[in-house]
Amino acid sequence: MKNIVILVSGSGTNLQRIIDSIESGDIQNAKVSLVVADRECYGLERAANHKIDNVLIPRGKNFSSELDKIIPQDTDLIVLAGFLSILKPEFCENWNGKIINIHPALLPKFGGKGMWGMNVHHAVIEAGEKESGATVHFVTSGIDEGEAILQKSFEVTENDTAETLAEKVHLVEYEIFPTAINKVLGN
């Protein structure tokens, strides 16, 4: 059984998708051993609803070192599911190849500092992009720079707004995240 730790900052619909995928058997041979949030958010409640251990470590310069103290050493995979803090380079190096993130755009486009959540969708609309999508990638010390694991795109239409893109991207995320996790776990 592989142990997954999930980091969240917000509503946690991707966290929910992962929990549901484990419960339904779509993600095999894995359990969520811990959910960590960097702020008060609904993601913590989702974890509690499923009796998953959950901890709040306030965001800030000590987040990575505090996480390091509590993360179980037998953790096989750390999943960033709508997590908005930047992990320290030493933490990323210690867990190299074992941290993955979901990003709401087609990396390497629309990644890097400041490119998160709705900011990404506004930037995609302003740039007049013909397509958008989501990317699951390994986390390294360079923001959104790690190797892509899975990516899926869709067409951006004339009527799309940042809000409709956010909805469409979420649907793509729910599709590719469990597949990417299975892939990384070797399932």
Which residue is catalytic, options 50, 103, 122, 137? 103
> CB of residue 186 vs ligand GAR: minimum separation in angstroms?
24
From 18-26, 30-38, 52-60, 96-104, give the range in contact with ligand GAR by CB under 6 A: 96-104
Is residue 103 flagged as an active site residue?
A: yes
> Site for ligand GAR (CB under 6 A): which residue of 3, 11, 164, 179?
11
Instruction: Fill in the per-residue mask, 145 to 184: x = in contact with ligand GAR (CB under 6 A), - = not in contact.
Output: ------------------------xx--x-----------
Name the minimum Å distance from CB 121 to ligand GAR. 9
Judged by DSSP in three states, 76 sits in coil
Torsion-angle region of residue 117: left (phi > 0), alpha (psi -120 to 50) or beta? left
Per this entry, what is the length of the chain? 187
